[in-house]
């Protein structure tokens, strides 16, 4: 029987370098002999990417917090069925840029949606499936937003206030403190090479490369 796959998620506020680091991590995992399924949220499927466009580019849409939450979980349900569960069943390492921790951080911490409301949807949609490991790349909000601002036009979330992102960051750190066995927090307020070195050390510690 094929070994079960490993579900790894990457989290953090805007500008911490998750996309760049996902390339690095994917390469490290492949060098370690793993078949890697790279994906992201919201998105990962045709339906999910359409929802992503609404959530990130819908500057002129009056999207309520509840609508935003339901759209995210709708995209997640499709993502799990179409991409994540099949890849794990094949024994692959699923490397996902954001997952449900982002919902607790952004919609919970940032928007103020009750934790219990998010947990209800998590239970219904995920049916117990959670990441085995989560790498949280952490940096001060001012650093992250300055980096994000150099990437081009801001998306719908990037136009939020500094206070919003402070709440998001605090929520992330609270999640990590509550689940130290799953989370690894990496200081992203460093030069890229140092962040990569710290990330590689964690992958080696977890026997993934």
- At residue 125, the 3 state secondary structure works out as helix
Give domain status of residue 1, yes or no: no
Angle between helices 65-79 and 115-126 (to 10 degrees): 20
Give domain status of residue 96, yes or no: yes
Give domain status of residue 122, yes or no: yes
Per-residue model confidence as pLDDT tens digits over 30-55: 999 999 999 999 999 999 999 999 99
- The CATH code of the domain that includes 72 is 3.40.50.300
DSSP E strands in 4-48: the ranges are: 6-11, 36-40
Per-residue model confidence as pLDDT tens digits over 9-32: 999 999 999 989 999 999 999 999
Per-residue model confidence as pLDDT tens digits over 51-73: 999 999 877 888 999 999 999 99
Cα maximum dimension of the chain: 51
Per the confidence metrics, is the pTM higher than 0.85?
Answer: yes
Give domain status of residue 61, yes or no: yes
Q: Which domain holds residue 197?
A: 6-205
With 0-12 CB in 10 A as exposed, 13-18 as middle and 19+ as buried, what is 100? buried
Side-chain-side CA neighbours of 193 within 13 Å: the count stands at: 0
Give domain status of residue 174, yes or no: yes
On the question of pLDDT at 151 being above 50, the answer is yes
Distances, alpha carbon 151 to alpha carbons 43, 86, 90, 148, 155, in Å:
20, 33, 36, 5, 10
Domain count across the chain:
1
């Amino acid at each position: 029987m094929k070994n079960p796959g490993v579900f790894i998620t990457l989290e953090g506020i805007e500008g911490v370098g998750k996309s760049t680091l996902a390339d690095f991590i994917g390469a490290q995992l492949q060098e370690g002999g793993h078949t890697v399924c790279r994906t992201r949220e919201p998105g990962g499927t045709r339906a999910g990417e359409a929802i992503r466009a609404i959530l990130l580019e819908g500057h002129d849409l009056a999207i309520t917090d509840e609508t935003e939450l339901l759209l995210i979980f709708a995209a997640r349900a499709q993502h799990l069925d179409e991409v994540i569960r099949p890849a794990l069943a094949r024994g692959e390492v699923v490397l996902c840029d954001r997952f449900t921790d982002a919902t607790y951080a952004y919609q919970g911490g940032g928007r103020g949606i009750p934790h219990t409301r998010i947990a209800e949807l998590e239970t219904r949609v995920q049916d117990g499936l959670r990441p085995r490991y989560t790498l949280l790349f952490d940096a001060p909000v001012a650093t992250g937003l300055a980096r994000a601002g150099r990437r081009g036009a801001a998306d719908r979330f990037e136009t939020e206030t500094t206070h919003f992102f402070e709440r998001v960051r605090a929520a992330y750190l609270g999640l990590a403190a509550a689940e130290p066995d799953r989370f690894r927090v990496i200081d992203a307020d460093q030069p890229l090479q140092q962040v990569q070195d710290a990330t590689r050390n964690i992958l080696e510690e977890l026997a993934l490369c």
